[in-house]
Structure 1
Amino acid sequence: MQDQGHKNSLLFLSEELVFPSVENANYDGLLAAGGDLSVGRLLLAYKSGIFPWFNDDALVLWWSPDPRMVLYPHNIKVSKSMRKVLRDGRFRLTKNTCFKEVIEACSSVPRENQDGTWITDKMKNSYLRLHEKGYATSYEVWENDVLVGGLYGVDLGTIFCGESMFSKVSNASKFAFIKLAQELEAKNYKLIDCQIHTDHLESLGAEEIPRSDFIKILQAENK
């Protein structure tokens, strides 16, 4: 997670469901602090190009980085080895069968170069509420009836905001992400929001675009 300094220059949110313009974000993309993680505030955030990201002992921090990492579903890259994985029947995919287990795994599976998790208990409870309202979706990957990978995110109708994914065995999260992209392409989704750059996401076809372009796409879809 990025440095959580600069708090003295942040806008602190009130109980009113409103966010500052994303253009007010600092160089790292940090926009505001405070507020709650209610369903209404989270949906407003995602529709505005903003997402929460904070440590367990910190205020809620709200981010809108520039550039923005996105995947246009038709640009998904499937390597030769992954095409084999998709064909061989090793994995089975389900959707929304165990959202809680997926988010728990995303928060607990060790990650290279990371200590701890940003998926706090507060975050888990909030996304579970989003899921119960039909806005948060999970994709589960099974091997021999054991949950070995998956991902979850917020579904805005034609834009899917990816939040986190996990793998307990090689290629499980890639399998979930590729299947997600293929399904969304078939449904004419505009893009998958991947938030920030990683080499892993780039290898799967994601790219960085100006935040202003990302916001224009969101605004067009929210009309």
Structure 2
Amino acid sequence: MTIYLPPLDETKPEFFPPVYTAMADPDGLLAIGGDLSPERLKAAYSQGIFPWFGIDEPLLWWSPSERAVIDPTQFTPSRSLKKFVRKQGYRVSINQAFEAVIEHCALIRGENQVWITEEMRAAYTRLHKLGSAHSIEVWQGDALIGGLYGVGVGALFCGESMFSLKTNASKTALWYFCEHFSLHGGKLIDCQMMTEHLASLGARPLARDAFISRLQTLKQQVTSPALFRSQWIELNHD
């Protein structure tokens, strides 16, 4: 039975039903309604829950039975990717163009995948200004050609979406972020639901119970203050 959350309930923005009560069909549907206030969003991610809904749909909250996750220490770029990035002159930054990244992520979605609504964009932009949502940007010259964004929860990064306008741009964003994230104390990247594309990038499935157990530990861990500081990321391409 799906729980309906009251909208704009300022007294209990942290309230969600237990994740084990999520529906089996559709897999992971946990609650309907509520709001996208920063307090509600931060509470959701800290409990292993995320919003996902389309235009003209109610606000839907999910905690699927299986998560797609990436161990940042296990992402190994191929020689061809390193050579390609060096040849193309790609550069990568963090938190220098959050609103542009989320806008691109919204624009590249197909007609049946319009879930980054204006409401979602505004909500995550507010979260970014409060220091909880972050973007990774890939540039070629002065042009933004790829990137990703998500929410930080301790040593866990909850990835929301990525985009690519040039070959290997999103893969470059993930490569640079994995190394930078791991260097500054990050332990795990949550990709939410498994897809063939995520699997090709090294994501692996993790059962909900195991994910929630990891989350309980990771959200208590402190990362370096330098992790999400607005900056350019420099890696060794050798």
By the TM > 0.5 criterion, same fold? yes
CA-to-aligned-CA distance 1:130-155 (integer Å, 9 cap, x gap): 00000000111111211111110001
Which residue identity does 2:77 align to in structure 1? V
- TM-score for the superposition, normalised by structure 1: 0.91
> What is the rounded CA distance, in whole Å, between the counterparts of 1:41 and 1:206 in structure 2?
27
- TM-score for the superposition, normalised by structure 2: 0.85
Any residues of structure 2 matched to 1:21-100 within 5 Å, and which?
21-27=18-24, 28-88=27-87, 90-100=89-99
In structure 2, the residue matched to 1:146 is 143
Deviation at 1:90, TM superposition (A): 1.9
Alignment check: 8 A CA contact 1:78 1:204 kept: no
Which residue identity does 1:12 align to in structure 2? Y
Alignment check: 8 A CA contact 1:153 1:163 kept: yes
In structure 1, the residue matched to 2:108 is 109
Any residues of structure 2 matched to 1:186-197 within 5 Å, and which?
186-197=183-194
Alignment check: 8 A CA contact 2:148 2:160 kept: yes
Which residue identity does 2:104 align to in structure 1? A
CA 110–124 in structure 1, closer or farther in 2 if over 3 Å, else same: closer
The two structures, once aligned, show a CA RMSD in angstroms of 1.4
In structure 1, the residue matched to 2:225 is none
CA 198–77 in structure 1, closer or farther in 2 if over 3 Å, else same: farther
Alignment check: 8 A CA contact 1:75 1:206 kept: no
> What is the rounded CA distance, in whole Å, between the counterparts of 1:103 and 1:143 in structure 2?
18
Gaps of 5+ in 1: 1-8
> What is the rounded CA distance, in whole Å, between the counterparts of 2:173 and 2:87 in structure 1?
15
Task: Select the residue among 116, 130, 133 that pairs with 1:119.
Answer: 116
Deviation at 1:157, TM superposition (A): 2.6
Alignment check: 8 A CA contact 2:154 2:219 kept: no
> What is the rounded CA distance, in whole Å, between the counterparts of 2:98 and 2:85 in structure 1?
23
2:8 corresponds to 1:11: no
2:121 corresponds to 1:129: no
> What is the rounded CA distance, in whole Å, between the counterparts of 2:100 and 2:67 in structure 1?
28
In structure 1, the residue matched to 2:171 is 174
Gaps of 5+ in 2: 221-238
> What is the rounded CA distance, in whole Å, between the counterparts of 1:184 and 1:89 in structure 2?
24
Deviation at 1:116, TM superposition (A): 4.6
2:212 corresponds to 1:220: no
Deviation at 1:221, TM superposition (A): 2.6
In structure 2, the residue matched to 1:4 is none
SS at match of 1:94: strand
Which residue identity does 1:157 align to in structure 2? G
> What is the rounded CA distance, in whole Å, between the counterparts of 1:155 and 1:177 in structure 2?
15
Which residue identity does 2:105 align to in structure 1? C
Deviation at 1:25, TM superposition (A): 0.8
How many aligned positions are there?
Answer: 213
In structure 1, the residue matched to 2:234 is none
Deviation at 1:222, TM superposition (A): 3.2
